[in-house]
Amino acid sequence: MLSIATFNLCNLGADAPPARLAKLGAIAARDLGGPDILAVQEIMAETPPMPDGQVPADLAYQALSAAVVDAGGPRYEFREVPPLLHRDGGMAGANIRVGLLFDPLRVGFPDRGRAGPEDSTGIRLNGGRPSLTLNPGRIAPLHPAFAGDGPHHWAPSRKTLAAEFELRGQRLFVIVCHFKSMRSLTRREEDYAKKQRHAQAEIVYYFAADLLACDPRAAIVVLGDLNDVPGSKTLKILKGDLFHNLLEDLPRGQGYTRRHGGRPQALDHILVSPALRLGAAAHIPHVNSDAGPGKPEPASDHDPVLARLPVCVNLDA
């Protein structure tokens, strides 16, 4: 079995308080069992940009990885495509982005090309099977749904990251999302945000569907903070007729990942392609959303979601 998790880290930077880093490391190592792959959202970097305008977050990933090791978890490597300064939305000046951490003793990562923040990865056939032209790479980062668009009243948003892993001769495609925020001041702004999420979901769905068109047995995971709930139009578009949301298999009352005004919400999801559905199962440790009076300060405003998938891992690596 392969373990994979998604976790919104709530604007985590390298300068996070040691106590918060320790909590996050313990969640990854103990509550999630040190997943083979950990997809993260809201990794931030406030450092001055590189000469090319990119803002990498290496120090934040390294701090998180060290915290996981200190808690008894694996020594993760990481991959990302750094954003351009102030181009991906989120908290002002934070330059938040999505990224991937993985255990190199369990899975392989065939790096391919050097994707820039405005480069879009594509799909090519290699030996009759699909692979990514850039690994990792962004999906349509210049599309108005991600880059922003004045006429639609769409703001710049986090870009989606696609990655390809190797697991004992098998390929696993992982697509990490952090769709447009639900935050809005008016009903009109809320409608604009919904339509932007719908457009983002459509782009990601068709990219994943193209992978399946090349290989109907392709192992694909689409996951992240989708900023919408099961049954919403966003999730219906993203699922289409091809993907299954593992949160839908959880017992009633268990499938929430945060609270808004005290009410539970499911905003973080893991969707799988048909090849992974049989035997796949999700689990949500409510380590943050159930925090309250008399309990320790939560490490994030979201719970992680963990999935175990029927994929052979390379234990001999």
Residue-wise pLDDT for 74-116, tens only, equals 999 999 999 999 999 999 889 999 999 999 999 999 999 999 9
In a domain, 316, yes or no: no
In a domain, 119, yes or no: yes
Q: Distance (Å, rounded) from C-alpha 90 to C-alpha 141?
A: 16
- Count Cβ atoms within 10 A of the Cβ of residue 115 and give its class: 0-12 exposed, 13-18 middle, 19 or more buried: buried
- In the prediction, which pLDDT does 216 show? 96
Residue 284 identity (one-letter amino acid): I
The model's pTM: 0.96
CA distances from 150 to 118, 153, 154, 156, 192 (A): 19, 5, 6, 10, 11
Torsion from C-alpha of 83, 84, 88, 91, nearest 10 degrees:
100
CA distances from 230 to 28, 233, 247 (A): 25, 9, 8
In a domain, 141, yes or no: yes
Which residue do the tokens 């799988």 mark? 272
In a domain, 207, yes or no: yes
Domain region containing 123:
2-309
In a domain, 315, yes or no: no
In a domain, 314, yes or no: no
- In the prediction, which pLDDT does 317 show? 35
- Residue 55 has which token pair? 């803002």
Q: Distance (Å, rounded) from C-alpha 221 to C-alpha 226?
A: 14
The percent of residues in the chain predicted with pLDDT above 70, rounded, is 97
Domain count, the chain: 1
Q: How confident is the model at residue 312 (pLDDT cuts 50, 70, 90)?
A: low
In a domain, 88, yes or no: yes
In a domain, 124, yes or no: yes
Q: Which CATH number fits the domain that encloses residue 157?
A: 3.60.10.10
